[in-house]
Amino acid sequence: MSKMYYRELYCGSPVRFWAGLALLGSIVAIGLGAAFYMEHNGHWVTGMSNQIVWGLPHVFAIFLIVAASGALNVASIGSVFGGPLYKPLGRYSSLLAIGLLAGGLTVLVLDLGRPDRLIVAMTQYNFKSIFAWNVILYTGFFAIVGIYLWTMIDRTVNKYYLTAGFAAFFWRIALTTGTGSIFGFLVAREAYDAAIMAPMFVIMSFSYGLAFFIVTLIAAYIWGDREIGDFRLAKLKNLLGVFVGAVLYFTLAYHLTNLYITQHHGVERFILLDGGIYTQMFWIGQIFIGSIVPLFLIYSPAFEKSRWAIVAASIAVLIGGFFQMYVIVIGGQAYPMTLFPGKEIVESGFFDGQVASYVPTFPEAALGVAGIAVALTMVAIGARLFKVFPETLEDHT
Amino acid sequence: MSNKCDQPNMNRRKLIGGAIAATGAMTIAPGVILHAASTTSEDSTGASSKHRWGMVIDSNKCAEGCSACVDACQSEHGLESHGRPETDAKWIRTVKLKDKATEHENRLVLMCQHCENPPCVDVCPTTASFKRADGIVLVDRHRCIGCRYCMMACPYKARSFVHETLSNQSINAPRGKGCVEACTLCVHRIDEGVMQTACQEACEKEGHAAILFGDLNDPNSEISKILKTSNSVQIRADLELNTGVRYLNL
């Protein structure tokens, strides 16, 4: 195997790089404007309410945060599990992980009622709160993955590469466990309150993170006029197939458990049968677009060598994952809490017993999309400043 | 080399690094200064764990069509309606139930249940949600970051988020846009020695007397005597939260 050379991301012409960056920057600017509009007027201008307290921004934020830890997997396979084909991708994997987490956190923080009090969240901790733990897990992730990336780039600290790799791997598992536990530890709502949420989020992160990785890697190599070999992409593609299957398995286990428990029949009926938009998002979004289509594209012999099939499968995984997160976050809130088992709520002054309605607004969507743009901007700038991408990823290297 | 090849200029890195550091400092500094300024000491005896304030609500006495307690709470705490019921704050609400099997109907009022083990306090990342020594569950509006995790965690849907800019606030209950709030058990009255909540007062005025406030820790209080002699229930007793609000005839 010949030596791997890394080089900063330079496009064929400066315009190509800067125009791309300007496009991302303008999406970020629109998102920031939307956040200012929502904060200035108050959350009543959004689709959120006292019934649906976490809306579209949370869907984007959690989706990106989950994907962030998953994006680090490629680096972990290279270092922790010693996969030589993955090792050259480790630097980019770490950079993407940092970018996605920053994007997700930007959305999460800007959707707070009081984003100006971020310092309070960083100085006042309630250690029984999984949210407080997440603040530590997120900031720690930046630090540990940053060091990990440093050990990969700087030869003088390369001796710490493996240690940093192991630390980052365990930290990322802890981080996604923490994110899943935000829902898993909620006793009040029937759609949550399940230990399976933590491992399910971990496996979801594997799938979304790798899909993000594949799409952005191919895009960056097209942008920078560099080559990627078919064999390496096939490896990534097969791994994605395994992860998509694993997410399906966890989804099945989650719903089967709920279907067995009579108390949870209501919420299952809501998600799987008569929940309207949530049922459609589950079956069409998560199961068809997010699972069946990518599995077909990945495993069908007809698309064995097709690069576009790999990209399409990854994008389908991302769309499906987004719908999955939407159903978990919003669907789980839309279904009314059971306050009085065995009783029907005839009247309520506060929408008890009713399926809550939620229609996302443009500013919420703009903020969410800006989170993706923040992630990609950081990746583009990071790849420009540091030697992150191998000069070529052709199979013979 | 010509500019066409888009080659690196290493000075840019320094500029970007500097810009990131400056932005970070600008984000954190004002918060640190304000935070330091706000931590002043006060002479206060504070709440005592000798008491545990609570309520008992008699479902049979809660009259059809009456909303006196809700209206009283709104005016006591300056909770204005903006004509948007989905986002308007509501600290107390009426609920009418029908038994699915027997069709027996009940009416009751629901508010923060002031749990002994409140899930909202457990999940609050900044300790803004807290329980006083006397059992009252409150939100520190100076510490709440508006993450709404407590609203996700509350099994009673008792909390509201302030969705709009506030005006004409009541001195009884300072509120904050972008913060979460809920029934305070009229803590401003308790701290002044007035042992009657606004909802109870209104209910009694209407002649229903469905709401009784009192000290659950005092065996001689009326509320303790009623709870000792009557069959009361907690809503979602399965969660073992040991609520401070109990219901009769539910």
Is B124 at the interface with chain A, CB within 8 A? Answer: yes
Of residues A193, A340, A189, the one with CA closest to residue B235: A340
- State the pLDDT at residue B10: 55
Which residue is closest to B179 within chain A, CA to CA? Answer: A113
Q: Is A349 on the interface with B (CB under 8 A)?
A: yes
pLDDT of residue B27: 62
Nearest CA in chain A to B166: A42
Tell me how close the Cα of A121 comes to any Cα of chain B, in angstroms. 6
Q: Do the Cβ atoms of A374 and A110 come closer than 8 Å?
A: no
ipTM above 0.90, yes or no: yes
Rg (C-alpha) for chain B, rounded Å, is 24
Q: How many helices (H) and strands (E) does chain A have?
A: 15, 3
Average confidence (pLDDT) over B98-102: 95
The whole-angstrom distance between A181's CA and the closest CA on chain B is: 11
- The pLDDT of residue B1 is above 50: no
Q: Write out residues in chain A with pLDDT < 50, as ranges.
A: 1
Angle, helices A197-223 vs A14-41, to 10°: value is: 140
DSSP string, B43-73: ------TT--EEEEEEGGGS-TT--HHHHHH
Rounded to whole angstroms, how far apart are CA atoms A303 and B159?
Answer: 52
CA–CA separation, A63 and A54 (whole Å): 13
Q: What is the pLDDT of residue A394?
A: 84
pLDDT at B43 over 60: no
Which residues, numbered 126 to 145 in chain A, qualify as contacts with chain B under a Cβ-Cβ cut-off of 8 Å?
Answer: 126, 128-132, 134-135
Return all residues near A312 (Cβ < 8 A) that are at least 6 apart: A293, A297
Residues of A in contact with B5 (CB under 8 A): 10
Interface-testing mutation among A138, A330, A350, A374, with chain B (most B C-beta atoms within 10 A): A350
Residue among A14, A131, A349 minimizing CB distance to B93: A349
Mutation test of the interface with chain B: which of A54, A56, A131, choosing the one with the most B Cβ atoms within 10 A?
Answer: A131
Query: HSE of A254 in the Cβ direction (CA atoms, 13 Å)?
Result: 25
pLDDT tens digit sequence for B68-89: 999 999 999 999 999 999 999 9
Indicate yes or no: CB of B155 within 8 angstroms of CB of A8. Answer: no
Instruction: Say whether pLDDT at B25 is over 90.
Output: no
Does any CB of chain A come closer than 8 Å to the CB of residue B41? Answer: no
Closest among A68, A31, A30 to A379, alpha carbons compared: A68
By C-alpha distance, the chain B residue nearest A43 is B163
Distance CA A133, CA A179 (A): 10
Pairing assessment for the beta strands A389-390 and A6-7 based on DSSP bridges: antiparallel
**CB distance from B150 to chain A under 8 Å?**
no
Q: Does B73 touch chain A (CB under 8 A)?
A: no
The answer to whether the Cβ–Cβ distance between A118 and B84 falls below 8 Å is no
Of the pLDDT bands very low, low, confident and very high (cuts 50, 70, 90), residue B39 is very low
The string of pLDDT tens digits covering residues B231-246 is 999 999 999 999 999 9
> Hey, what are A311's tokens?
């990209």
CA gap B184, A195 in Å, rounded: 33
Q: Is B52 on the interface with A (CB under 8 A)?
A: no
Q: Give Cβ neighbours of residue A112 (< 8 Å, ≥ 6 apart).
A: A118, B145, B146, B147, B178
Tell me what percent of chain A is helix, strand and coil, each rounded to the nearest 5.
Answer: 75, 5, 25
Half-sphere exposure of A154 (CA within 13 A, CB side): 9
Contacts of A19 (CB under 8 A, 6+ apart): none
Kindly report the nearest CA distance between residue A158 and chain B, in angstroms: 22
For residue A49, which residues of chain B lie inside 8 Å, CB to CB? Answer: 86-87, 163
pLDDT, tens digit (0-9, with 9 covering 90-100), for A366-378? 999 999 999 999 9
pTM of this prediction exceeds 0.95: no
For residue B41, pLDDT over 70 is answered with no
Cβ-based contacts under 8 A for chains A and B: 210
In this prediction, residue B50 carries a pLDDT of 94
What confidence tens digit (pLDDT) does each residue in B189-242 have?
999 999 999 999 999 999 999 999 999 999 999 999 999 999 999 999 999 999
> What are the b/e assignments for A74-95, b being 16+ CB within 10 Å?
bbbbbbbeebebbbbbbbbbbb
pLDDT band at B21 (very low <50, low <70, confident <90, very high): confident
- Which amino acid belongs to residue A194? A
Task: Please report which confidence band the pLDDT of residue B3 belongs to, taking 50, 70 and 90 as the band edges.
Answer: very low
State the smallest CA–CA distance between residue B71 and chain A in angstroms: 12
- Whether the per-residue pLDDT at B30 is higher than 80: the answer is no
Taking contacts as CB-CB distances below 8 angstroms, the residues of chain B near A54 are 148, 152
The per-residue pLDDT of chain B, averaged, comes to 89
DSSP string, A316-371: HHHHHHHHHHHIIIIIHHHSPP-SSTTEEEEEETT-TTSPPP----HHHHHHHHHH
Nearest CA in chain B to A343: B99
B163 closest CB neighbour out of A43, A112, A352: A43
**CB contact (8 A) between residue B179 and residue A345:** no
B87 shares contact with chain A (CB less than 8 Å): yes
Mark yes or no for CB contact B87/A43 under 8 Å: yes
What is the DSSP code string of B120-188?
Answer: HHHH-TTS-EEE-TTS-EEE-TTT-----HHHHH-TT---EE--S---S--TTS---TT-EE----SHH
Give the per-residue pLDDT at B40.
Answer: 43
Task: Give the bridge partners for A348, in sequence order.
Answer: B95
Q: What is the distance between the alpha carbons of residues B64 and A123, in angstroms, rounded to a whole number?
A: 49
* Token digits of residue A324: 């999955």
> Does B99 contact A at CB distance below 8 Å?
yes
Given a contact cutoff of 8 angstroms between Cβ atoms, the answer to whether A138 and A65 are in contact is: yes
CA distance A240 to chain B (A): 33
Q: What is the pLDDT of residue B4?
A: 47
For residues A25, A31, A34 and A40, what is the CA-based torsion angle, rounded to 10 degrees?
A: -90
For an interface test with B, the pick among A56, A114, A385 (most B C-beta atoms closer than 10 Å) comes out as A114
Is B31 close to A116, i.e. CB distance below 8 A?
A: yes
Single-letter residue type at A187: V
Question: So what's the pLDDT on residue B2?
Answer: 42
Closest chain A C-alpha to B84 CA, distance in angstroms: 9
Q: Which two tokens stand for residue A354?
A: 């009713």
Sheet holding B211-215, edge to edge: B211-215, B53-58, B245-248, B232-233
